[in-house]
Every structure is written in C-alpha cells, then in structure tokens.
C-alpha cells in the first residue's frame, strides 16, 4: 500500500476531491464501533472547516487512511469519550469528533 504524505493528503482532501474513500461500501463511523471490535478503515470524511481540515490531515498523517486495520480497545466514561483505538503497534485516544471523520467496516465475527 502506498503511504500518504502530508502533501498527497492535502491534494486528496481538496474540496473538489471530496471524501478520501473506497466507494459503495456500507460503513459506520469509528465512534460507533464497539469495544474489542476490529475494523478496516474505508474512508476519511471531508472536513467542513479549515480547523477540521487540519484535524483530518493529522489523522491521515498518523496512519488513519483507507485499508488500515484498527481495533477499539476502550471507551472512556462518562459519554464514551475518549475512544482508545489500536492502530498497528500504537494506541491513540480520539475524541468522538475526531473518530466521527473515520469510516470503517467492522470485521465479521467468526463463531467457533
């Protein structure tokens, strides 16, 4: 998989580019993912403001981009915030606002 750098991320997040995504896949927001569930990132939402644009660029720079696998390891209390997310070998604490920009497909649960 090709790595995104800050410049390519800015180009991909240009208003005319829209959402950085794999099209036509049913997704949920990372903030909706239950604790312990593994998922694959499918899209990073388009920011509405310049402030949110910087937030989205930061998410991409630290590794949240389509094709990456992650797992929610904990939800804070009260209000399920922050959300602790394991991406590769690193755990990140995301606010619900940040997690809301990340669209994922949960991995199927295999019963034994």
pLDDT in tens, 60-112: 999 998 999 999 999 988 877 899 999 999 999 999 999 999 999 998 866 66
Q: Would the pTM count as exceeding 0.85?
A: no
Q: H or E stretch including 43?
A: strand 38-44
pLDDT in tens, 25-71: 578 999 999 999 999 999 998 888 888 999 999 999 999 989 999 99
Q: Would the pLDDT of 18 be above 80? A: no
Superfamily of domain 6-106: Ferrous iron transport protein A (FeoA) (2.30.30.90)
Domain ranges of the chain: 6-106
Q: What is the DSSP string of 56-101?
A: HHHHHHTT--TT-EEEEEEE-TTTT-SEEEEETTEEEEE-HHHHHT
């Amino acid at each position: 998989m090709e790595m995104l750098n800050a410049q390519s991320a800015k180009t991909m997040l240009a208003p005319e580019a829209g959402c950085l995504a794999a099209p036509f896949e049913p997704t949920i927001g990372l903030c909706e993912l239950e604790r312990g569930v593994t998922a694959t990132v499918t899209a990073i939402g388009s920011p509405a403001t310049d402030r949110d644009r910087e937030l989205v660029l930061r998410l991409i720079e630290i590794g949240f981009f389509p094709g990456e696998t992650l797992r929610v390891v904990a939800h804070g209390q009260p209000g399920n915030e922050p959300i602790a997310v394991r991406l590769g070998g690193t755990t990140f604490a995301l606010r619900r606002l940040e997690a809301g920009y990340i669209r994922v497909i949960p991995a199927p649960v295999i019963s034994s």
